Amino acid sequence: MSLITGLTKNGREWTPEFIKALEKDLCIGCGRCFKSCTKNVLAYEEVDTEETVKAYMKIANDGNCIGCKACGQNCPRGCFSFEPVEVRAFGYTS
Ligand code: SF4
Ligand code: SF4
């Protein structure tokens, strides 16, 4: 199995862990993850309830993720899960 890997500035190899899921039931809509992501992966979703409108976060552009995990590190509710991705999942060959 060959995973997508990258290089640090000094040439060390690392394996990104890409966004896998966001547990909507845990989300409080605080937006910390949204501010952390520079790749436009996340978006707000508004849900009407009887008394108010609640905002949650959702994965909007899954394919833009670079696997930095900044969103998860800044989430106070542990909403995110991540995983490395096989190169062949995208049809590339190494
Ligand atoms: S892992 Fe990084 S690029 Fe991917 S959604 Fe989270 S903050 Fe954005
Ligand atoms: S940081 Fe966590 S709790 Fe806050 S909006 Fe993002 S997913 Fe929801």
Residue whose CB lies within 8 A of the most ligand 1 atoms, among 14, 18, 41, for a mutation test: 41
* Two tokens, residue 21: 């899921």
Task: Please indicate, yes or no, if residue 58 is contained in any of the structural domains.
Answer: yes
Extract the residue ranges of the chain whose pLDDT is less than 70.
89-94
Task: Please indicate, yes or no, if residue 44 is contained in any of the structural domains.
Answer: yes
Ligand 2 center to 8 CA (angstroms): 28
Integer Cα distance of 25 and 45 in angstroms: 13
Please give the tally of structural domains in the chain.
Answer: 1
Res 91: pLDDT: 61
Task: Please indicate, yes or no, if residue 59 is contained in any of the structural domains.
Answer: yes
Domain housing 55? 20-81
Task: Please indicate, yes or no, if residue 15 is contained in any of the structural domains.
Answer: no
Integer Cα distance of 77 and 47 in angstroms: 19
Q: Residue whose CA is closest, atom 2 of ligand 1?
A: 68
59-83 per-position pLDDT tens digit: 999 999 999 999 999 999 999 999 9
Task: Please indicate, yes or no, if residue 29 is contained in any of the structural domains.
Answer: yes
Res 93: pLDDT: 52
Which CATH number goes with the domain that contains 31? Answer: 3.30.70.20
Q: Among residues 16, 47, 37, which one has the least CA distance to residue 79?
A: 37
| Cβ atoms of residues 33 and 71 within 8 Å | yes
Task: Please indicate, yes or no, if residue 12 is contained in any of the structural domains.
Answer: no
Task: Please indicate, yes or no, if residue 94 is contained in any of the structural domains.
Answer: no
